[in-house]
Amino acid sequence: MASPSIPPHKSSFLSHCLSADALSFGTYTLKSGRQSPYFFNAGLFHRGPLIRAISTAFAHTLASTPLPFDVLFGPAYKGIPLAATVVDKLAGLDEERYGNVSYSFNRKEAKDHGEGGSIVGAGLKGKRVVIIDDVITAGTAIREAIEVIEREGGKLVGIVVAFDRQERMPSASEKGEGGEEGTKASAIGEVRRQYGIPVLAILTLDDLIAYVKEQKGSFGTEEDMTRLEEYRSRYRATDV
């Protein structure tokens, strides 16, 4: 059902995410160590209509920008099917503009036989690269991907994620380092400032909360919503 306050392309994608349980409520430990009352699991887009929904959302987000690029880089593991299917979707949207765009991804462990190395798909040397990934929380995964691209001689020109959790970077005390608390900037904001590139998200936590409220009980319980809003107040970045 269309939602009046968020655009139809977002509400349609949100409805796919919630129906497939790719957005779910519960208690989850994140890569950053935070305990979250919700989780975005892009691994659950494993059937045709679902992978089509997410790749279409990525392709339309990319096509709405004038950004020129040669390669979509999908960080292992969940970025891998995204990069491959979005390349296909883009070529289907506009063969002339995107027919030469390639996909590429890293192996988490380098291969020492056969073709060897840690990159699968297109080489990155001298290429304009866009990272596409499932979710950004503290930005660790994105920074690891940037290191791979720089090491391989690629030029990072943009990043698109399916879900921006709009969280602030972990503080020194959260990382167990003591000292200054630091800024309350978002992981996305920090990457934008540091690299001067566009960083786009198809959905944000604000979109999720607005949509679930508008669907009035179709997804999640009142307690889920309370926990979600408490979590948002606790970890929300100041620059989103």
Ligand X SMILES: O=C(O)c1cc(=O)[nH]c(=O)[nH]1
- Catalytic site positions: 111, 113
SS3 of 7, please? coil
Which residue number, 108 or 113, has a Cβ lying nearer to ligand PRP? 108
- Which of 2, 5, 26, 31 touches ligand PRP (CB under 6 A)? 31
State the minimum distance, in angstroms, from the CB of residue 107 to ligand PRP.
Answer: 12
Which residue number, 2 or 172, has a Cβ lying nearer to ligand PRP? 172
State the minimum distance, in angstroms, from the CB of residue 116 to ligand X.
Answer: 29
State the minimum distance, in angstroms, from the CB of residue 138 to ligand PRP.
Answer: 3
State the minimum distance, in angstroms, from the CB of residue 40 to ligand PRP.
Answer: 8
> Between residue 129 and residue 168, which ones bind ligand X under the rule CB under 6 A?
134-135, 137
Which residue number, 140 or 183, has a Cβ lying nearer to ligand PRP? 140
Widest pairwise Cα distance in the chain:
55
Binding mask 24-63 for ligand X (x = CB under 6 A): ------xxx------xxx----------------------
The residues facing 160 across adjacent strands are: 132, 200
| Summary count for the chain: helices (H), strands (E) | 8, 8
- CA torsion sign for 218, 224, 227, 232 is negative
The encoded tokens of residue 202 equal: 């198809």
> Between residue 119 and residue 148, which ones bind ligand PRP under the rule CB under 6 A?
133-141
Which entry of ligand X, ligand PRP, none binds 14, CB below 5 to 8 A by partner kind?
Answer: none
Which entry of ligand X, ligand PRP, none binds 145, CB below 5 to 8 A by partner kind?
Answer: none
Query: CA–CA distance from 26 to each of 163, 165, 172, 221, 236 (Å)?
Result: 18, 16, 27, 11, 19
The residues facing 186 across adjacent strands are: 168
Contact 171, 142 (CB under 8 A): no
SS3 of 155, please? strand
3-state helix, strand, coil in the chain (%, to 5): 40, 25, 35
Residue ranges that bind ligand PRP, judged by CB under 6 A? 31-32, 77-78, 133-141, 187
Residue ranges that bind ligand X, judged by CB under 6 A? 30-32, 39-41, 134-135, 137
